[in-house]
Structure 1
Amino acid sequence: MTKTAWVFPGQGSQSLGMGSDLIELPLSKEKFAQAEDILGWSVVDICQNDEAKLSRTLYTQPCLYVIESILVDALLAKQKPDLVAGHSLGEYIALYAAGVFAWSDGLRLVKRRAELMDSAAGGMMAALIGFDQGQLEQTLAENADVVLANDNSAAQVVISGTPEAVKEVMAKVKAKRAIPLNVSGAFHSPFMATAAAEYEGVLASVEFQTANVPVLSNVDPTPTVDAIALKQRLMQQMTGSVRWREISQALPGNGIEKVIEIGPGNVLTGLIKRTCGNLQLENIRTAAELPGE
């Protein structure tokens, strides 16, 4: 059997109309109804009709969790992964797929996470593409107000910090493209410490189980199934860097031959291809792309 990893995208992969064909899947109506009870608003309505809300952290994160987890349920009925990982928010769907927590608990965690991140203010994030690695490392070392938030691949990173510090790095580091991100705060940086401290109590209240399959976490890309370790890693995630390049490199090292990205878009398979070009890559974005009987 081909050893397969499932990976889950996070914020930025959403698109209007996502999940439109999931409504007809068995159990999806129940999940959408349950989500409306927990969230107080309709995932289906926002995904179909409200692009402005869908692009706002408060709504984006729960919508992605619900859509991706419904795809997970449909896929788990037919096959099982050998390893899972998710990018930022995607780590929550990875943990759900691995049986670490109940679906409703996961959605409540994502809801609170989204509320805290949406209310964060005063920070800035920017993506750098085709940059000078040495120059970036030196500039970050010289400025305590900006950090590497997402190490996505050798050619793409995201920096996070105060607006002044982020703009200074963008001006100093040679890059093919430097793109400010439309987010409210300095996510995945020490500037999220207040939000992370408040979130820690919410996370502590949720029971984690031993994972069914190993998980590669954002802050620690070594595989583990240990419930305590997985919760501790998730507690560090809001202020820690997303080490996606290292997660990509760890896949073949753990015997993975095939990677399935579950959720809208193809960001993660694109990043993995740049880091590990010899892996089989597949995307499941819609019900139509789920394997047949």
Structure 2
Amino acid sequence: MTKTAWVFPGQGSQAIGMGVDLLDLPEAKAKFEQAEQILGWSVPEICQSQEDKLSRTLYTQPSLYVVESILADRMQARGHQPNLVAGHSLGEYVALYVAGVFDFEAGLRLVKRRAEFMDSASDGMMAALIGFDREQLEQQIQQTPDVVLANDNNSAQVVISGTPEAVEAVLSQVKVKRVVRLNVSGAFHSPLMAEAAAEFQAVLESVPFNSAQVPVLSNVEPVPCVDADILKERLIRQMTGSVRWREISLQLPVQGISQVVEIGPGKVLTGLIKRTCPDLTLENVGSVAELPNSE
């Protein structure tokens, strides 16, 4: 039998108009209304905002969580179930929701607070590097204070995070094919997020977690786990820790996974996984039209 992993994208995959086609589904409409009561604003309105409010962390993270959760709900309603789940940064919250670690409301309340803490973080920058010498990059990061490898996406694409001076210092010393300075408010997934992470930890610890119904591969520790306490402890470390997506990708075939479904807007994770594990069957579900038929 084919073993399937569901993966959920994070910030950077959002797109204006995402999730609007879900409004025709009564179950989805109810979720959007529930989300509006929790957030105090409408996800569909933000997703259609022409001023691109959607690209602001405060709105991006809850909107992705809501849209991806609804798509996953629709998949499960049609009889589809994952054997393993993982999510990239914010996407890990959707993975935990799908695995039954917390319910939709508890997850959204966490994501709302996470987005608020991260949106108010400043004094940092992030840059994506495409095509580089890994050894040279790692050496340079070790020699430069206040910069870390934030996202290890695959062998050819990483993101570094730190103070603007430290990030620019690394970029000036490393030969890179292409650099993209990311439009974010702070140095996410780095020690510079320690203050926000400490405040968020208090919020996280107050939320009861259940054991996962399917194994979860966490960003900071890509080892399958169903234990509620371990999954919470990993999530606490996530805001300051690296997103080890390359290692998550490598774990998929090790766990007997042959098919991966990326649930959410865009095809970022599919592209990253394809480079690391070219033999896996990859699918995308980003809209109602892409939902598979009932099992």
What TM-score, normalized to structure 2?
0.98
Cα distance in 1 for residues equivalent to 2:51 and 2:241 = 29
Partner of 1:10: 10
Matches within 5 A, 1:155-174: 155-174=156-175
Aligned residues of 1:16 and 1:51 also touching (Cα < 8 A): no
SS at match of 1:188: coil
Cα distance in 1 for residues equivalent to 2:175 and 2:25 = 48
Matches within 5 A, 1:165-244: 165-244=166-245
Q: Quick one: which amino acid aligns to residue 18 of structure 1?
A: M
Q: Quick one: which amino acid aligns to residue 221 of structure 2?
A: D
Cα distance in 2 for residues equivalent to 1:76 and 1:99 = 12
Aligned residues of 1:188 and 1:237 also touching (Cα < 8 A): yes
Encode CA deviations 1:174-202: one digit per residue, 9 max, x unaligned. 01001110001000000000000000010
Partner of 1:30: 30
User: Would you say 1:148 and 2:159 are equivalent positions?
Assistant: no
SS at match of 2:23: coil
Cα distance in 2 for residues equivalent to 1:227 and 1:23 = 33
SS at match of 1:170: helix
Encode CA deviations 1:76-132: one digit per residue, 9 max, x unaligned. 112110000000000000000000001000000000000000000100100000011
Partner of 2:283: 282
Cα distance in 1 for residues equivalent to 2:26 and 2:292 = 15
What TM-score, normalized to structure 1?
0.99
Deviation at 1:51, TM superposition (A): 4.4
Cα distance in 1 for residues equivalent to 2:214 and 2:293 = 23
SS at match of 1:22: helix
Q: Quick one: which amino acid aligns to residue 11 of structure 2?
A: Q
Cα distance in 2 for residues equivalent to 1:154 and 1:131 = 9
Matches within 5 A, 1:90-169: 90-169=91-170
SS at match of 2:21: coil
Relative to structure 1, the CA distance from residue 110 to residue 50 in structure 2 (aligned partners, 3 Å threshold; closer, same or farther) is farther
SS at match of 1:281: strand
Cα distance in 2 for residues equivalent to 1:5 and 1:182 = 30
Q: Quick one: which amino acid aligns to residue 72 of structure 1?
A: A
Aligned residues of 1:146 and 1:160 also touching (Cα < 8 A): yes
Partner of 1:62: 62
Relative to structure 1, the CA distance from residue 51 to residue 266 in structure 2 (aligned partners, 3 Å threshold; closer, same or farther) is farther
Partner of 2:84: 83
Return structure 1 stretches of 4+ with deviation > 4 angstroms.
Answer: none
Aligned residues of 1:4 and 1:260 also touching (Cα < 8 A): yes
Deviation at 1:13, TM superposition (A): 0.2
Cα distance in 1 for residues equivalent to 2:68 and 2:51 = 18
Cα distance in 2 for residues equivalent to 1:261 and 1:111 = 23
Aligned residues of 1:71 and 1:286 also touching (Cα < 8 A): yes
Q: Quick one: which amino acid aligns to residue 22 of structure 2?
A: L
SS at match of 2:243: coil
Encode CA deviations 1:18-71: one digit per residue, 9 max, x unaligned. 001111123111100010000000001010124421000000000000000000
Cα distance in 2 for residues equivalent to 1:138 and 1:92 = 32
CA-based RMSD of the aligned residues comes to: 0.7
Matched positions, count: 293
SS at match of 1:213: coil
Gapped regions of structure 1 (runs ≥ 5): none
Q: Quick one: which amino acid aligns to residue 185 of structure 1?
A: G
SS at match of 1:282: strand
Cα distance in 2 for residues equivalent to 1:136 and 1:273 = 23
Cα distance in 1 for residues equivalent to 2:136 and 2:74 = 46
SS at match of 2:22: coil
Deviation at 1:291, TM superposition (A): 1.0
Cα distance in 1 for residues equivalent to 2:291 and 2:265 = 13
SS at match of 2:158: strand
- Greater alpha carbon shift after TM alignment, 46-55 vs 193-202: 46-55
Aligned residues of 2:23 and 2:29 also touching (Cα < 8 A): yes
Cα distance in 2 for residues equivalent to 1:229 and 1:134 = 32
SS at match of 1:91: helix
Cα distance in 1 for residues equivalent to 2:50 and 2:12 = 16
Aligned residues of 1:15 and 1:264 also touching (Cα < 8 A): yes
